[in-house]
Amino acid sequence: MTKIEFEDPSMNIKKPKGSIRLFFVTIFVSLIVGAIGGIGGIILLSSQGGELAKRIGLGDGGLTIPTVRTEKVILEESNAIIDSAKKVSSAVVSIQQKKTVQDIFGQVYESSGAGTGFIITSDGLILTNKHVVTDQNADYSVVLSDGSTYSAKVKSLDPLKDIAVLQIEARNLPVVEFGDSDSLEVGQWVVAVGNALGRYENTVTVGVISGRNRKIEASDANGANAEAMDDLIQTDAAINPGNSGGPLVNLKGQVIGINTAIASNAQGIGFAIPINEAKTAVDSIKATGRIIRPYIGVRYVQLNKDLSTQNKLPVEYGALILRGKGLTDIAVIPGSPADKAGLVENDIILEINGEKISQDNSLLKLIQQYKVGDDIELKIYSKGAEKTIKIKLEESK
């Protein structure tokens, strides 16, 4: 089984003879004679004027000899990569974490770590990964591209996604430009920028989009703090410890993802959160000061044809409500909107407001199109029959 890890903050020939020569000479002479004959033919044909041209169907005028011009075009992808990195780098920051720790012998020492983020507003809002700044007992600071350092406050943590927003007290800061992660194509060039190993600020790596809509279960290096994540971008652009929270950028210099995890036992397999999923979080924090997400309160598996066939399920799409392996990974959260609506384990949610749940439109992705308090209609398959239920979205805690 492939182990997926969060990108946790980084810690400390011969000459011819005889007949052969004669053969070459013969070919050379033949080529010359042929060329002269061809030129003569062209001159003769042209000198006969329009009459000969008419006889062979070439029109009223003399014969026109088309010319072909070949131009060699050199595509410099490197120029696009350079421009892209320049555009975004000034808004990429290094996030430093410091914490006082006491070991079992009573000795006190300072622990440190590092991650990456990027500035999204000129007055100091910074987007990063939640797992970079999740320690409430640590102090955080931000180092800008010009070397200036600011104390940072964790403004909000996303309850559903590995996203966090920091705030620093600064003005007139450079900001990134958001792209459209829904329009990404597999094979498209991308650039990753980050604080590699917690030591090398604004390190630039290059790769392509290797896949889309990936679903993984990520944990830290010790296997703890496991978290299921879906709708991720897969890339082979090198993502190293310390890159967490840094931008994944297209060749226009637009951020299209937030680097978040790697497959630790593989080469060139990294994952990023699509920026479109962060846009709602950014809008929320600008409007309310915190990240508010709607939820229904179920744990699910995204169905496809193979999975449905293996498990002899009656449908090939939808979200199958299913508990996880851990004791706390229950299928339906008690008291949640799903619980109140009567959803139970093994129910399959097929549609939300008439829109099918599919590999490209997961349950979570569709729900995020709505707001807390919205009433939505779910089409479900339950106990051998399809039915429709209504549910009111609540805020995820």
Give the closest residue to 193 by CA, choosing from 119, 141, 267, 123. 119
231 is catalytic: no
Record the tokens describing residue 390, joined without a space. 């209504």
| Residue 244 a catalytic site member | yes
- Element spanning 304, H or E: none
**Active-site residue, from 10, 94, 131, 284:** 131
What is the C-alpha to C-alpha distance for residues 148 and 266, in angstroms, rounded to an integer? 36
Strand partners, 270: 235, 262
Of 210, 219, 244, 362, catalytic: 244
Q: Is 131 a catalytic residue?
A: yes
Task: Please give the Cα distance from 170 to 72 (Å, whole number).
Answer: 49
Judge whether 395 and 372 are in contact, CB under 8 Å: yes
User: Burial code of 351-375, b = ≥16 C-beta within 10 A, e = fewer?
Assistant: bbeeeebbeebbbbbbbbeeeeeee
Amino acid, single-letter form, for residue 207? G
- Amino acid at the residue 269: I
- DSSP H or E run through 305: helix 305-310
Pick the catalytic residue: 89, 94, 158, 162? 162
The closest of 256, 239, 343 to 295, measured between CA atoms, is 343
CA distance linking residue 359 with residue 356, whole number of Å: 10
CA angle 381, 387, 390 (to 5 degrees): 110
Residues with active-site annotation: 131, 162, 244
